[in-house]
Amino acid sequence: MPDLRISLIQTPLQWHDRAFNLEMLAHKIEEITEPTDLIVLPEMFTTGFSMQAPEQAETMNGPSLHWLQNMAKTTGAVITGSLIIQEKGFYYNRLIWMKPDGHYMFYDKKHLFRMAGETEIYAAGTQKFLQI
């Protein structure tokens, strides 16, 4: 079995600035010089860890999902990270697992961080990974 090559990107994010963060992360991904199978982005990589879900949320057809599809296709690696998603009147801290072929799976954070108020804003996930 070949080795699994993982690249972790932990970087300061620009607060509530999706365009800046996506551009900055694209450059960081382009700077990865070694072959990689999996790229892991920070939690809420588009906005920073925000409790302002109504203002910052996207849908599953939003620009960040399309960005993930493009980056996964371009790099040939799986890319994963969470972002704020609005669906059926609820907000989720949703982890996306984007494959290079454009198919993805997602997981809604089940164990929310109560002490930061995450339980007051976000709905807890109820299922394991869902494949699309």
Q: Which domains does the chain have, with CATH numbers?
A: 6-131 (3.60.110.10)
DSSP annotation string for 44-56: TTTT-S-S-HHHH
Q: Is the pLDDT of residue 130 over 80?
A: no
pLDDT of residue 70: 98
7 or 116, greater pLDDT: 7
pLDDT of residue 49: 93
pLDDT of residue 1: 66
What angle separates helix 63-75 from helix 18-30, to the nearest 10 degrees? Answer: 10
d(CA 131, CA 11): 28
State the burial class of residue 28 (Cβ atoms within 10 Å of its Cβ: 0-12, 13-18, 19+). Answer: middle
| Confidence band, pLDDT 50/70/90 cuts, at residue 117 | confident
Residues 99-107: what's their mean pLDDT? 96
Q: Is the pLDDT of residue 63 over 80?
A: yes
Residues 15-44: what's their mean pLDDT? 97
Q: What is the pTM for the complete model shown?
A: 0.92
Paired residues of 97 in beta bridges:
80, 105
Which amino acid belongs to residue 67? W
Q: 51-88 burial, b if ≥16 CB within 10 A, otherwise e?
A: eebeebbbeeebebbebbbebbeebebbbbbbbbbbee
31 or 113, greater pLDDT: 31
Residues 109-130: what's their mean pLDDT? 87
| Confidence band, pLDDT 50/70/90 cuts, at residue 5 | very high
pLDDT of residue 72: 98
Residues 30-36: what's their mean pLDDT? 95
